[in-house]
Structure 1
Amino acid sequence: MAFSFIHAADIHLDSPLRGLEKYEGAPVEEIRNATREALINLVNKAIEQQVSFLIIAGDLYDGDWKDYNTGLFFVSQMTRLQKENIKVYLIRGNHDAQSLITKELKLPDNVVAFPVDQATTEVDEELKVAIHGQGFASRSVTDNLAKEYPGKLDGYVNIGILHTSATGREGHENYAPCSVEELVAKGYDYWALGHIHLREVLHEQNPAILFPGNIQGRHIRETGDKGCTIVHVKDGHIDSYEHQSLDVLRWEVCEVDASMSETIDDVIEAARTHLEQLQQQADGRFLAVRFHITGSSPAHQQLIVQKDHVINNLRSLALEMGDIWIEKVKIKTTRLLNMDELQEQHTPIATILEFLENVKYDDDALQLLLEELTDIHNALPYELKNGEDALDFSDTSTVKDRLKEVEDLILYHIQTKAGV
């Protein structure tokens, strides 16, 4: 007998996409429902491929529902699968652990949710499949759950569903840790893992063990193609599996080398070329793009001093091209000017630069400067006191970090007035 199933995880339904700055003309509505649209794509794929069942390996929800609409939307999609006789097997993960979800809805009869107190087995006699799983009772599960999973059933295709960090992954909490060797030793044919948002195959065959990644990227640390894994079973064995894209909004980091750019316009044109390439690769999806503008550039001072001009011209470019959201612009260029030569010229500018250089190492002078800036700091709006670009005048290191920007500002205005 031959059949197929889908392995998905980390849907995070109705999770707010983070880090997207609002600005005029940005496609707010299109991306607000990205996780819902990705789930619709998942259900569409299951129906199109006529799979026998769907596995969701934890974190279906992002946390407790704000209202019942999140649950109702999920039920509506599962009902579509029910009409096609497609079963769904799911477990709870750290984000939708039993202790976190206070609202519940009865799920359609085609959905099987595994218990959280122990690992159990669901058997499909027609397909000769045994599916083993256990969900999270609480957000932080640090026990090795895999150790207590049932042994394999002979004569069946054995599939384990587990929400786990495996041997640990950077940026993810170490939940339900286990080793690949432990999973292999269970004798299953396939391990459907969840929790890690980057697709990763831990063991290719006998058994196949993998994370499919999440179905929709939610912020700039989740770039690139997102989706599910379709698994093909033939004669009681895993025959093959492949990734299927489901995301409706794709996050990308766009690196623009400004080393050959004389002006801001040159940088914008270089950005256009990169965006056109990303649009072709995105295959019609919305893009959320972070720009990194780098290089030792003749336009460095211009880019630093006219940062708002740069950002809004990139936004304008995105609106012109369509279906692109500029998430953030990071200007990381460096000067072409030789600062040592400037400081040796004994001009007024050299004196100013020398003072700025010396003040970096004079904590007393910096502390006095901070005291002078106290009133200004208190008057700053909330958004300028928080986040990665915050202006924090309570620490001398902040002033040290910003002195280069002061130097660039001075150099830019002197060069502009001198006609350089």
Structure 2
Amino acid sequence: MFKFLHAADIHLDSPLQKLQQYEGAPVEELRQATRRAFENLIELAVSEGVDFVLIVGDLYDGDWKDYNTGLYFVSRIAKLRDAGIPVYIVTGNHDAANTMTKTLRLPEGVYLFPIDEPGTFRLPALGIAIHGQGFATKAVKKDLSVGYPAPVSEYYNIGVLHTCATGREGHEPYAPCSIATLESKGYDYWALGHVHQREILSTEPLIVFPGNIQGRHIRETGPKGCMLVAVDEKGSTHAHFHPLDVIRWVRCQVDTGFTEDADEAVDAISLALTELLEKSEGFPLVVRVEIKGRLQVHEELSGDLERWTNEIRSAAIDLSGGRIWIEKVTLDTASPSPTEVPGFVDGPMGEILHCLDEISKDEDQLQSLGEVLNDLFKKLPRELKDGPEAITPDSNEWLSGLLGQVRYMLLRRLTAKGNGR
């Protein structure tokens, strides 16, 4: 009977986070990723001949640094206007009215829900009513869904809401609501946004987070896209996920327990990366390599992590032709105890390891360490303070993990292994 696209969290022109640029990495592909994913959304809408498109918050990533982001949106959305496909948008926390100091008049065929109260767009020819309310401010803490109107009789009713629902890890608790409240409205479909992981909260009616359309950091792994929703002659709703992303984020865990040294570990990682590439369906990959395994190899790797990270990057460039970007290399193994360092159990090295053990298990000492680092933290650039991989000296968990990394570096440098000194 009719079809529509449900998309959210486009974050147009958002930079992909925590990526160190280096020679041979696919820089331009990464820089344009959110735009190309948005273009895929436009192409899908036109090719499927949908009746309308819903964008459920965070079309933008915050205030534009100039007007080019807005001009880009207008230029691309014109293709939907030419195809007779209207677009209905609610603002989310990233593009709330109070965060946008630059604006452009919306092009024909693009409709924005009000921000002071819920509004309804009716499509009489299709028998559809779309209800929604955008964010007036970035931090909306009340349940907006409570004020949504009753369903329009004899119409197919859609609720459009940017929300954390009952709360999701990694997402601000904005516009919280319960599934029961949404179900009680009597709508046929709830189009949600804000949570970047695809999730179906209910099937009767369908209540759906489509996720964002392009992963932007290592917590946003796997395919990203939108929902193509079809309603048949009987009024039954069928929603199917369509990927739109152009670059995939992947965790690559490698057990180096069988390797004898760091060179063999790099070979094992290269093999794992090759297998990832074969399964990538042609997508460029942003990869975090997480190394597990025997202590001997980890000590060698961590003693000069910069060198071995670049050895891994070199291998990735060679085997992938630039289709793999190594975002980060991490080491995951149990920290060495003094008894695992021959000759140092009762000496200065043993005392250092005992000290690290003591600090890492003592909440008060960790807090004191964080206070010492706080002045340095204030001088760091903003990109190191924000996002899921931020430096957080006020977090005891983060500090404890940092001490675990320090162990290997100290062992390597104080024993002067492999450096000729």
Find the aligned partners of 1:231 and 1:341 in 2 and give their Cα distance.
59
Q: Would the alpha carbon gap of residues 78 and 342 (structure 1) be closer, same or farther in structure 2, given more than 3 Å must change?
A: closer
Find the aligned partners of 1:348 and 1:195 in 2 and give their Cα distance.
52
Q: Residue by residue, what CA displacement relative to the aligned partner does 1:92-119 show, whole Å, maximum 9, x if unpaired?
A: 0010011111222122221111111111
Residue identity opposite 2:99 in structure 1: L
Give 1:334 shift: 4.8
Give 1:171 shift: 1.1
Give 1:390 shift: 7.7
Question: Is it true that 1:405 corresponds to 2:401 in the alignment?
Answer: no
Give 1:349 shift: 8.1
Q: Residue by residue, what CA displacement relative to the aligned partner does 1:233-287 show, whole Å, maximum 9, x if unpaired?
A: 1125243111110111111111111111112222122212222232233322221
What is the RMSD of the two structures over their aligned residues, measured on CA atoms? 3.0
Give the secondary-structure state (helix, strand or coil) at the position aligned to 1:150: coil
Find the aligned partners of 1:290 and 1:400 in 2 and give their Cα distance.
21
Find the aligned partners of 2:233 and 2:288 in 1 and give their Cα distance.
47
The TM-score normalised by the length of structure 2 is 0.85
Question: Is it true that 1:214 corresponds to 2:218 in the alignment?
Answer: no
Find the aligned partners of 1:390 and 1:186 in 2 and give their Cα distance.
43
CA contact (8 A) 2:120 2:131 kept: yes
Question: Is it true that 1:356 corresponds to 2:355 in the alignment?
Answer: no
1:207-356 equivalence runs, <5 A: 207-235=205-233, 237-320=235-318, 321=320, 322-334=322-334, 339-340=338-339, 351-356=347-352
Find the aligned partners of 1:219 and 1:283 in 2 and give their Cα distance.
20
Residue matched to 1:33: 32
Residue identity opposite 1:47 in structure 2: V
- Higher deviation after alignment, 56-65 or 398-407: 398-407
Residue matched to 2:201: 202
Find the aligned partners of 2:198 and 2:113 in 1 and give their Cα distance.
23
Q: Please identify the structure whose Cα radius of gyration is greater.
A: 1
1:130-209 equivalence runs, <5 A: 130-205=129-204, 207-209=205-207
Residue identity opposite 1:22 in structure 2: Q
CA contact (8 A) 1:259 1:298 kept: no
Residue matched to 2:90: 91
Give 1:410 shift: 4.1
Q: Would the alpha carbon gap of residues 33 and 181 (structure 1) be closer, same or farther in structure 2, given more than 3 Å must change?
A: same
Residue matched to 1:103: 102
Find the aligned partners of 1:3 and 1:162 in 2 and give their Cα distance.
21
CA contact (8 A) 1:301 1:409 kept: no
Residue identity opposite 2:349 in structure 1: L
Q: Residue by residue, what CA displacement relative to the aligned partner does 1:176-210 show, whole Å, maximum 9, x if unpaired?
A: 111000100100000000000000100013x1001
Residue identity opposite 1:332 in structure 2: D
The TM-score normalised by the length of structure 1 is 0.86
Q: Would the alpha carbon gap of residues 3 and 331 (structure 1) be closer, same or farther in structure 2, given more than 3 Å must change?
A: same
Residue matched to 2:128: 129
Residue identity opposite 1:354 in structure 2: G
Q: Would the alpha carbon gap of residues 409 and 108 (structure 1) be closer, same or farther in structure 2, given more than 3 Å must change?
A: same
Find the aligned partners of 2:138 and 2:391 in 1 and give their Cα distance.
31
- Higher deviation after alignment, 230-239 or 14-23: 230-239
Give 1:225 shift: 0.9
Q: Would the alpha carbon gap of residues 98 and 270 (structure 1) be closer, same or farther in structure 2, given more than 3 Å must change?
A: same
CA contact (8 A) 1:91 1:135 kept: yes
Q: Would the alpha carbon gap of residues 153 and 266 (structure 1) be closer, same or farther in structure 2, given more than 3 Å must change?
A: same
Find the aligned partners of 2:390 and 2:86 in 1 and give their Cα distance.
48
Q: Would the alpha carbon gap of residues 356 and 190 (structure 1) be closer, same or farther in structure 2, given more than 3 Å must change?
A: same
Residue matched to 2:362: none
Residue matched to 1:114: 113
Find the aligned partners of 1:361 and 1:49 in 2 and give their Cα distance.
60
CA contact (8 A) 2:53 2:88 kept: yes
Residue matched to 1:371: none
Give 1:50 shift: 1.1
CA contact (8 A) 2:338 2:354 kept: no
Give 1:60 shift: 0.3
CA contact (8 A) 2:63 2:95 kept: yes
CA contact (8 A) 2:116 2:136 kept: yes
Give 1:405 shift: 2.8
Q: Would the alpha carbon gap of residues 340 and 166 (structure 1) be closer, same or farther in structure 2, given more than 3 Å must change?
A: same
CA contact (8 A) 1:294 1:334 kept: no
Give 1:342 shift: 5.6
Find the aligned partners of 1:319 and 1:357 in 2 and give their Cα distance.
37
Aligned residues: 394
Give 1:362 shift: 9.1
Give the secondary-structure state (helix, strand or coil) at the position aligned to 1:162: strand
Give 1:298 shift: 3.7
Q: Would the alpha carbon gap of residues 389 and 407 (structure 1) be closer, same or farther in structure 2, given more than 3 Å must change?
A: farther
Find the aligned partners of 1:348 and 1:136 in 2 and give their Cα distance.
60
User: Any stretches of 5+ residues in structure 1 without a counterpart?
Assistant: 368-373
Find the aligned partners of 1:124 and 1:389 in 2 and give their Cα distance.
45
Q: Would the alpha carbon gap of residues 408 and 112 (structure 1) be closer, same or farther in structure 2, given more than 3 Å must change?
A: same
Aligned residues with identical type, % of pairs: 45
Q: Would the alpha carbon gap of residues 175 and 355 (structure 1) be closer, same or farther in structure 2, given more than 3 Å must change?
A: closer
Give the secondary-structure state (helix, strand or coil) at the position aligned to 1:406: helix
Q: Would the alpha carbon gap of residues 297 and 407 (structure 1) be closer, same or farther in structure 2, given more than 3 Å must change?
A: closer
Q: Residue by residue, what CA displacement relative to the aligned partner does 1:45-87 show, whole Å, maximum 9, x if unpaired?
A: 1111111111000000011111111011111111000111111
